[in-house]
Amino acid sequence: MEILIFSDRKNIGKAFEKVARSKGCSFAFYPVKDFYGKVKMFREYNLFYLDISSVKEPDKKKIFNLVYRTKNARIGILDPDNSVSDVAELFHRGVADYIGRSLYTSGITLKRIQKVYSYRMVDADVPACETEDDDVNGNYILSGNNWELINPGQEYTFCFMFIELDNFRDMKKTAGVERARIISEAFHKFIGQYVSSINGRIWIWMEYSGIILFPFDGCRCDAILSSFKLMLNRYLINMVDLTMDYFYSYHIVLHIGNTIYRERGETGTIVSDSINSIFHLGQKYAENQNFYLTREMERFIPAGLCGYFVPDGDFEGRKLLRMKHFD
């Protein structure tokens, strides 16, 4: 994850030394005068800290009002002088964190940063659907949105996407091995290009099915909307993107869970309940031409799509949602 810090103090970095040693975050430091422009440009994915002690007293009301008006951004206030008289108001108005003198002096920890990064803001437009169960939120080990900060051998929370071609085995018997290979390779190439546009990577692939990983910042999961489009636009995808004498049909399952991360091709020794679960859901439960979400995904459904998913029962202890049929 990336943290942008706005302060005119020369030693401001000392407060974040514990976080920096974890190597799980990247930092960028800017003067306070750059605050509005940077937040406006990068507000959706990053975490921002504004040092209020670097703001002149006559300007504080103006900059607080600016913070309050900035929607869909995680903004924390650094207050090493304990100058804020009503800290509760900050949270009432949507501020994601407050660092007073004591915590500023003792040093901010990675655990705190992770909690703030996954803070669900009232006005956020991405986690728009309410869940029935509070226990689906899990113990996130945020992988953020930057693949460069994800280290092999460490455990993270990801969004998992399982996708598989429908009836491929039967087609392989009738069309022959060579034609089946061409069909599956074209699909693999298309999916790889498609998910890369939203920061996804094919992680495990087995001829006609696989798992795609998306880094997870605890705040949004773009794979939901992209998978929705894959299902809704499959006729156009066949005609425009795949352009073969074959109609590609597929089913999709999305899940949020934890796993040790290893590079593609080195995943054979990983033991992960999340991997086992999504494979079982995709191969044993999911029906052709359907798109499913585990209950863990529900709170991240974009607001406009909430009404297009319906409960679809349980499988191996997991509650599922299914995209409505439009036929």
**pTM value?**
0.61
- Determine the pLDDT at residue 119: 57
Nearest CA to 121 out of 165, 72, 77 is that of: 72
CB 209 within 8 A of CB 290: no
Structural element, H or E, at residue 159: strand 155-165
| Radius of gyration of the chain measured on its C-alpha atoms | 23
Domains in the chain, CATH or no CATH each: 2-117 (3.40.50.2300), 134-323 (3.30.70.1230)
pLDDT score of 270: 85
Residue 195, C-beta contacts closer than 8 angstroms, at least 6 positions apart:
161, 201, 202, 212, 214, 223, 226
Positions of the chain with pLDDT lower than 70, given as ranges: 1, 22-24, 42-45, 71-72, 118-139, 327
Cα separation, 20 vs 123, in Å, equals 30
Amino acid at 221: C
